[in-house]
Amino acid sequence: MNPRFRMALTATAVLSLGSAIGFYGAFGVADAADSIAQPGQQSDSSTGIKAPVTQAQEDPAVTRGRYVAIAGDCAACHTDPHHGKPFAGGYALETPFGKLLASNITSDKKTGIGAWTEEEFTQAVREGKGRQGENLYPAMPYNAYVKVSDQDMHDLWAYMQTVPAVENQVVSNQLPFPFNIRLMMMGWNLLFFDNTPFKPVAGVSAQINRGAYLVDGLGHCAACHTSKNFLGGDKGGAYLQGGELAGWHAPEITGNPYVGIGGWSDKQLVQYLKTGSNHVAVASGPMAEAVTNSTQHMRDEDLYAIAAYLKNLPGSDIRSPQPLKATSPLMQQGANVYSANCSACHNSNGKGINQLASSLAGNPGLQADNAQSLITTVLEGGRGAVTVDNPTSGAMPSFAWKLSDQQIAATLSYIRNSWGNAAPEVTAEQVANVRKERKLPGQLSADGTSR
């Protein structure tokens, strides 16, 4: 239930803009989002969730549940963008262990959850147990949703019952042997599933606790931003300090000022989550999907709570290394390639274009040890988050056909060590590996063939 790569490691789900518009239009999320900023809200005292009061005479539980679904980003995985039927499942989640198809969670009684009870629904979401007692795979992040409150679960159930029924039989488990044996999840749960409900953090503000509830529970941010071990469990001591997924590196999002978000103001972080960009960064890849489908529709007070919580986390002890010398051959080659191919959008000073091309100067996301996202973006290109406040967004073309592995490595090394940045160099071998993993063409030769 989130556009991230999760089956014990997470799974990437991509929603097109058209699918997103179709979903929000069909189920009134846009209406809910419009009313979020309006006065007259109801509050659940246990979690602090305030539900917008819509003008329509709707059951308040349904209204609150719609917002819970937004915060949990349920549509991202359970909507297949190819047929545009919200929550009908069928979207393929590619995992390191094979393919899983997201289940149908519409109100259809035959192929969806229309015949389920609220208890069965809650058990699946918070405990990873199917209707027949079968173990679910952690591609459905029950290890995070276990922290969702009873009230929010009840409201989410109330909302899901209003989702129009779509008959779509999905055979979710398409994993190869032995991963298709669900009993294996018993061992995984013993090792990695902490079924402790959310507990407020002592000695911090209500705002920080609200942020903790959203980040650790509904937002399940650790699914992407915490590194995993070989079994797909969270690595101890690495909470929200960055993780790798499906060709992307989800950066550290703690208060670390060097590679985290400690150098951002709360306002800048809220702007990023609301619009998909700020003066430094433009959300792309899986994060762009999260902004488009989820965080842009959340209330500002919740986004500020998320910012307060994340910035309160001490994070890793990573500090910036000494930058590479500008006179080195690698940096000089990178400067030349950058000037010819990148400066038109990102400017010669690396400042970028506000809400269009990300700033490269002093950007903590560029300075992580892992440069995988940067390599993927240059090779594949990409598009920033499309939001109500930034409907045009910005797009970057693919350079796989134009630049060699060495040219890309030199350019990224230059970017990561200029304008106040400092990070390890990127090698041609790293670029070649990503190019191969993503099945991208090589640089075109003079005769029009790939090298």
- pLDDT value at position 447? 61
pLDDT digit string (tens) for 102-154?
Answer: 889 999 999 999 999 999 999 999 999 989 888 888 888 999 999 999 999 99
Contact 136, 147 (CB under 8 A): no
Three-state DSSP state, 58? coil
- Domain of 211, CATH number, reads 1.10.760
Residue 239 resides in a domain:
yes
Sheet holding 173-174, edge to edge: 92-95, 98-101, 173-174
Residues 279 and 353 in one domain: no
Residues 25 and 138 in one domain: yes
- pLDDT value at position 179? 67
Contact 168, 89 (CB under 8 A): yes
Residue 319 resides in a domain:
no
Contact 76, 141 (CB under 8 A): no
Is the pLDDT confidence value at 14 over 50?
Answer: no
DSSP state of 242: B
Euclidean distance between CA atoms 154 and 287, whole angstroms:
28
Cα distances from 424 to residues 320, 321, 323, in angstroms, run 9, 8, 8
**HSE-CB for 96 with a 13 A CA cutoff:** 17
Residue 11 resides in a domain:
no
- pLDDT value at position 176? 67
- Annotated binding residues for heme c, as ranges? 74, 77-78, 221, 224-225, 342, 345-346
Residues 215 and 154 in one domain: no
pLDDT digit string (tens) for 302-317?
Answer: 999 999 999 999 989 8
Cα distances from 175 to residues 137, 192, 276, 439, 444, in angstroms, run 11, 20, 34, 22, 37
First CA to last CA across the chain, in angstroms? Answer: 40
Contacts 24+ apart (CB under 8 A), 262-271: 262/311, 262/315, 263/362, 263/364, 264/311, 266/304, 266/307, 266/308, 266/311, 269/303, 269/306, 269/307, 269/310, 269/311, 270/300, 270/303, 270/304, 270/307
Residues 296 and 339 in one domain: no
Percent of the chain with pLDDT over 70: 84
Neighbouring CB atoms inside 10 A of 448's CB total 6
Residue 318 resides in a domain:
no
Identify the domain boundary among 312, 342, 376: 312
Residue 8 resides in a domain:
no
Residues 338 and 428 in one domain: yes
pLDDT digit string (tens) for 196-238?
Answer: 999 998 999 999 999 999 999 999 999 889 988 888 888 888 9
| pLDDT bucket at 47, cuts 50 / 70 / 90 | very low
Residue 104 resides in a domain:
yes
pLDDT digit string (tens) for 368-395?
Answer: 888 988 999 999 998 888 888 888 777 8
**Reduced DSSP (H G I as helix, E B as strand, rest coil) percent helix, strand, coil of the chain, to 5:** 40, 10, 55
Residues 143 and 250 in one domain: no
Identify the domain boundary among 151, 169, 192: 192
pLDDT digit string (tens) for 325-371?
Answer: 999 999 999 999 999 999 999 999 999 887 778 889 888 888 888 89
- Annotated binding residues, as ranges? 74, 77-78, 221, 224-225, 342, 345-346
Average pLDDT of span 167-173: 81
Position 168, amino acid: N
Closest CA to 341 of 427, 421, 249, 443: 443
- pLDDT value at position 13? 29
Residue 118 resides in a domain:
yes
Q: What is the dihedral of CA 76, 245, 229, 89, to 10 degrees?
A: 30
pTM above 0.85, yes or no: no
Is the pLDDT confidence value at 73 over 70?
Answer: yes
- pLDDT value at position 448? 64
Residues 363 and 287 in one domain: no
Residues 58 and 155 in one domain: yes
| pLDDT bucket at 243, cuts 50 / 70 / 90 | confident
pLDDT digit string (tens) for 276-289?
Answer: 988 888 888 788 88
- pLDDT value at position 180? 66
Identify the domain boundary among 283, 312, 341: 312
Residues 218 and 176 in one domain: no
Residues 264 and 170 in one domain: no
Domain span holding position 260:
206-312
Euclidean distance between CA atoms 137 and 184, whole angstroms:
10
Is the pLDDT confidence value at 9 over 70?
Answer: no
Structural domains counted in the chain: 3
Strand partners, 228: 234
Residues 144 and 274 in one domain: no
- Domain of 410, CATH number, reads 1.10.760.10
Is the pLDDT confidence value at 6 over 80?
Answer: no
Residues 290 and 339 in one domain: no
Is the pLDDT confidence value at 242 over 90?
Answer: no
Percent of the chain with pLDDT over 90: 48
Measured in whole angstroms, the distance separating CA 393 from the mean position of its chain's CA atoms is 17
Residue 7 resides in a domain:
no
- pLDDT value at position 121? 96
Give the CA radius of gyration of the chain.
22
Contact 147, 197 (CB under 8 A): yes
- pLDDT value at position 20? 33
Rounded (10°) angle between helices 118-127 and 150-160: 120
